[in-house]
Amino acid sequence: MKTRLFATIAVTAMLIANAAPAAAGALKTAVFAGGCFWSAQHDIEHTPGVRDVVVGYAGGTGRTPSYENHEGYLESIRVTYDPAVISYPQLVNAFFHHIDPTDPNGQICDQGPSYRTAVFAADAAEKAQAEQVKAQIGKQLGTNVRTLVLGPTTFWMGETYHQHYADKNPVNYMAYRVGCGRDRALRTIWGKG
């Protein structure tokens, strides 16, 4: 009996020990609406700890939104990240630094309901963390932050031709970005040189 009990304890301990590294390396996702999803994807995908970024639609209630019909939805990104490298609050902070969080109507030259900014928190803990980051950003900028912090949402993947648009169409994307004045606007807000 003691041998069987010892063997059961040993196997259980071994299973727990082997499971720990996998759990420590587990990736998480976060959903943000940052105006034009091409720029939101392009700007955050190089953040240390970010493993993948896809574009799509979030925050709406209709079924199967598309680029041609996403009324009620925000152009959004789903970020897959490694929480061992970047925490959720750090990721939210990085997101804020790639947008104009003071604009309630969109981003730079992209104005209208689908270009508003938002953080979609997965649970109450993330929502509290996002609200705290938002408050810090407001203090830093000395103004009202208009980016919404919302609860969980269904994320609908965008069309293939929108995924990594800046990488696949660098000339067209840069013409849009320069014409929009995105970098100039972000330098004005954040003081980046």
Q: Which of 30, 31, 33, 36 is catalytic?
A: 36
Chain centroid to Cα 120, Å, comes to 8
- The pair of three-digit structure tokens given for residue 11, joined into one six-digit string: 């196997």
The residues, ordered by sequence, that sit 6+ positions from 131 with a Cβ below 8 Å of its Cβ are 149
SS (H, E, C) the chain: CHHHHHHHHHHHHHHHHHHHHHHHCCCEEEEEEECCHHHHHHHHCCCCCEEEEEEEEECCCCCCCCCCCCCCCEEEEEEEECCCCCCHHHHHHHHHCCCCCCCCCEECCEECHHHCEEEECCCHHHHHHHHHHHHHHHHHHCCCCCCEEECCCCEEECCHHHCCHHHHCHHHHHHHHHHHCHHHHHHHHHCCC
Query: Cα angle vertex 157, ends 160, 178, to 5°?
Result: 65
The verdict on whether 36 is a catalytic residue reads yes
Active-site residue numbers?
A: 36
